[in-house]
Amino acid sequence: MSKFWKSASTYMVAALISIGASYGTYSYLNSRSDYSGADVFNYGQGFDQKNVHLTSLTAEGYPDFTKAAESSIHAVVHIKSTVKSTEVAGRRQRQMVDPFEYFFGFGDRGGSEYMNPQPSVGYGSGVIISKDGYVITNNHVIDKATEIEVTMNDNRKFPAKLVGADPTTDIALLKIEGAEFPYIPFGSSDDLKVGEWVLAVGNPFNLTSTVTAGIVSAKGRGGIGAGKPGGDMTIQSFIQTDAAINPGNSGGALVNTNGQLIGINTAIYSQTGNFAGYGFAVPISIAGKVVADIKEFGTVQRAVLGVMISDVAAVEDISPEKAKNLKVKEGVYVGGFADRSPAKEAGVLEGDAIVAINKTKVRNVGELQDLVNRYRPGDKVELTIDRNGKQSTIAVTLKNSSGSTSVVKKTDGLASVGAAFKNLSEEQKRQYGVSYGVEVAGVDDNGKFKKGGITKGFIIMKINNRSVSSAEEAEQIIEAVAQSQDKGLFISGFYANGRTKYYAIDLNE
């Protein structure tokens, strides 16, 4: 089974397009009719947006990009992200291995001659989406950044605060302080048509306020390995465009000729790392939902059907035996179920083909994912399924990844663990024979660290297999895990007597 699903995947090399930065409520429904047609989503309302409509044709009937470009460049910003030298030092220190450290069971502890590395600086783009200064960008543009600076088209600079990020969709929300910022209102990525003109606005190669034009080459494009390096991005519904997108465009705007935001430029297909005619943007139907959730709840409300799926066409090509009962050529084949699957509980069977959600046609995995991603846990959707040539509808109550219908709340990770950390002194490092690590300076009796067995004085070496060099880094990892879907911490380290210990901490409430 696993071999089949692996074979059914589409392989594609996608280059992330931010220079070095990889260290890097909204009104949920404007209107909904019960299964009577496609749902209408207005994510911009939560950011007090007011749509604008600009002339898109010249008197001669040719496309006119001037007004859309003029309105967009003032709301697309340059982002500078800085990773402080302490974290860079930690990474470099880990490259030097001291054999003595194997005695403690941590093979990558090591000394280093690098004591004063320079901060790492990267660049990308972002889009202002509200007059009070909310900015949407890619997660890989600001990932691990300790300082974020936004530069406007008029060269004004603002420090930016990270409101929240979602590595799964590679979307992040920033906030700059001020009023009456220019912004780009959300358009409808659903209404885009293949062949329609679009503009890509961003800062490729640090060339600020760059506008390129192209057409929509495809919609619902899947198999793009975008997201932060080593990340878990799973979005399978990109807008493909031939508008020139290059390194530095990450997080920039893809706009229609009305000057409306219809996508966030994220990745390119290229063998050289530069534009080769294939760019990809996260549709605003997905990106808008993500930032609206982050703004209202602090974390993304991600509903799931709990099914293992692939395109019907892929099943026919790879496993004719599995496809022999399929009577449709388009749709999504259900090949299995996750634990506590809402779809299975509702009556969906293995071998069914999902052909519509709430009467909106579903032709492939990307379209199914796009539609489901618009809902919250607890929402009901109606699936149209084809079973052995007969179509029927099944009402499914969507759940979150934990099998609950409740809205996921943002978890205060540090408050939950109930611990304080402090950096190891140079004397401690020499004493323990380590080059990195952080000490647990104290634990709260009601915190998860204390309940899990971690006591004061424990030296943390790794959290979730990631080496830790400073108290700040430990706090950042814990907070990131607290906002993730998994919410599990696996901590390894040792006590002053040299005894190595491993702890598993569950941050779920």
Catalytic site positions: 140, 170, 250
CA dihedral 464, 465, 470, 471 (to 10 degrees): 20
CB atoms near residue 164 (< 10 Å): 21
The rounded Cα 275 to chain-centroid distance in angstroms is: 22
The span from the first CA to the last CA of the chain, in angstroms, equals: 34
Closest listed residue to residue 142, CA positions, set 116, 114, 170: 170
CA geometry: angle 454, 456, 462, nearest 5 deg: 55
How do the residues of the chain divide into helix, strand and coil, expressed in percent and rounded to 5? 20, 30, 45
What one-character-per-residue DSSP string does 292-327 give? Answer: HHHHHHSS----B--EEEEEHHHHHHH-HHHHTT--
29 contacts 40 by C-beta, under 8 angstroms: yes
In a 10 Å sphere around its CB, with 0-12 CB exposed, 13-18 middle and 19+ buried, how is residue 107 labelled?
Answer: exposed
Please report the DSSP string for 97-158 in residue order.
Answer: --GGGGGGT-TT----S--SPPPEEEEEEEEE-STT-EEEEEHHHHTT-SEEEEE-TTS-EE
Cβ pair 100, 153 in contact under 8 A: no
